[in-house]
Structure 1
């Protein structure tokens, strides 16, 4: 594995906390990848995420599309996003990284940060936009920026379109795996860890597809009901951090310990919160047939080996949670307009095709879906480099 193109460690002069930026690869001089904030964030973690972004971009390459995949990058800050000093730290980090955001790194929300917060901090740091590095690649910058702004202003049932497209992609990944296995959607049981932007939207789409959400977990613990939870009620009762007000629970809903979602009696488990949630110490509690990685790097490699050995299929993050990133670029480059129905249709179509080809490759090669996804990315990266170059 080649080393990243650039790796930077920044220390805040006010708090002493550290931030990181890793640019794994450039395409036409630009890389894309979100900015996360969490306590314990490390350079190693951000490096892995940047490599993942390189693969996500490559996997969505369509030679006939307007969207040209970017290189991969990632930013990270070692801080609790709810800490009093978090916002000032975010502003100072972006001010320090301003030359990169202006020239080569497009970024946005990730774990612990919302897009609204990133936008506000970016403006305070003197930036035009968190994605301004991509503007020179656009045919009509003004029209593209209006299109993206209009898309971000759209709401569906009172929820921003930008909060829903990622979960739509995760849900379509689940449905594609069920369809290939001949498993009916209706009644298939699902446990979701994390009811924030990605987990909440995933639960919403799966419930509307007829699946039964039997467990959800947030920072307070797990809420479970074998007959199925009222997903809409739980989503409506969340705070800004995805924590559910327990006052809305029904008599049959049970409150269980935090890790109970792992061992829920379900066919599908969706870790949609933090990295490294499933490790070698707890993987044996999983009884599901599929683990679908809505979060970034939620299953440690050694745990995935053990899970695979006992017949549990892990659908990898580099495919499953790539819908939000792709939607940004489809909209900005003009493959789709600022329209919710068009966004969902494009997301479903693209994710289904990608999951289908990944699972077919895994079956043909006798490998895991993750190995198949990596092989697909490895096939596409030289094609992208040949056509577009790293810097031109």
Structure 2
């Protein structure tokens, strides 16, 4: 059973969502000039599978986005993630639009293979012409193999096993991109200090606070799944000190810096950090496990949320400020609520937004989509994220009022404007509005990928 209409899918959101007509008299609050183009709810009475697909905007290409498999999945959450993908793909200069899938269940409590096959079957009319899937929370490369085989087209998803020509996210493409985003940010701050560039008070304060060697800069990472663990590894390779990591089971901390190679070795075959406590006799190192929320109560220079949405909120943001956090790099999707974002920016904390910082996964997906190699994926991630983060930082610096006006200190706002320019032009060209698009090109600042 597919609850959709190919042209007016917005109206089929189910009884749990606010219902609206499509003429604008009333409307699902998320509907705007950018999308979404389709919102589908699907249900299979044979398996009990319930799922959601949101295709947000395909003006720059077929919608790209992972399939989230979790009990917490809602149409509103899937839409927000799809919209993030719209900006992420545009910012990265990829020929993809934004989309997202969701299956509503705990994958460990259902027949995951059958549910994935059922979901793929029900959305197959849209794959891969309008939607190209990938892994997300609760899904792996094996799920992508199931999905591709059920659709009958290997182009229907990325993140597939290498045996199927894939570049699985289990190689750490997203985590690598996060490390590149942080390194680029630190290099940028050092450069403007070294060059004596004029900077507003927030930027000047950052260059002063972080005027230290890389191995003296302290980082904590919330989330130790695929993204968090690889971000930890790659930051350690850059000689940046990771002093704490957490997951749902607890927080491992050492203010002098964790032994990351040892931690990674000890975590092999383990699902959670708390599992480290079960095998003391087999480990050379002993770990003290704190409550997971203690991660917000330690002094650190950089905070990297690599878990779920909304973890930086009105309750946790003041704690980060109190503990002298200078930079937040959003490795997770939508980890910061709007009010917390504004509070932190107003107080001089630099936030590298998710659609810039964690784009490594979708850039790697693009390379897989083209049939290219793992090495080419990592090379393109390095190139694109370096350029995109640097561009956003320089644009923010140049648009900041020199008289301590911090309104343009928001990298999110500046980068979002660039992404919107790209999508807006593509939407005009898709409509055949060439003369209007030409005028838009003349008015807007040239976008360089």
Q: CA deviation at 1:274?
A: 1.1
Q: Please state whether the residue corresponding to 2:145 is helix, strand or coil.
A: helix
1:222-268 alpha-carbon deviations (Å, 9 max, x no partner):
11111111222322343678523313676674211011222222111
Q: Map 1:1-392 to 2 at 5 A.
A: 1-2=32-33, 3-14=35-46, 18-27=50-59, 30-61=62-93, 69-123=95-149, 126-129=150-153, 131-132=155-156, 149-150=164-165, 152=167, 162-182=170-190, 183=210, 184-238=213-267, 242-244=271-273, 245-246=275-276, 247=279, 253-286=287-320, 287=323, 288-333=325-370, 337-340=372-375, 342-366=376-400, 367=408, 368-385=410-427
Q: Please state whether the residue corresponding to 1:186 is helix, strand or coil.
A: helix
Q: Which runs of 5+ in 2 are unaligned?
A: 1-31, 191-209, 401-407, 433-449
Q: Distance between the aligned counterparts of 1:371 and 1:148, measured in 2?
A: 41
Look up the match of 1:155.
none
- 8 Å CA contact 1:216, 1:224 repeated in 2: yes
* Residues 314-323 or 241-250, more deviating: 241-250
Q: CA deviation at 1:333?
A: 2.7
- 8 Å CA contact 2:59, 2:423 repeated in 1: no
* Residues 84-93 or 290-299, more deviating: 84-93
- 8 Å CA contact 1:55, 1:72 repeated in 2: yes
- 8 Å CA contact 1:162, 1:324 repeated in 2: no
Normalised by the length of structure 1, the TM-score is: 0.84
Q: CA deviation at 1:121?
A: 4.4
- 8 Å CA contact 2:363, 2:380 repeated in 1: no
- 8 Å CA contact 1:196, 1:241 repeated in 2: no
* Residues 238-247 or 371-380, more deviating: 238-247
Normalised by the length of structure 2, the TM-score is: 0.74
Alignment RMSD, CA only?
A: 2.8
- 8 Å CA contact 1:272, 1:293 repeated in 2: yes
Look up the match of 2:447.
none
Tell me which structure has the larger Cα radius of gyration: 2
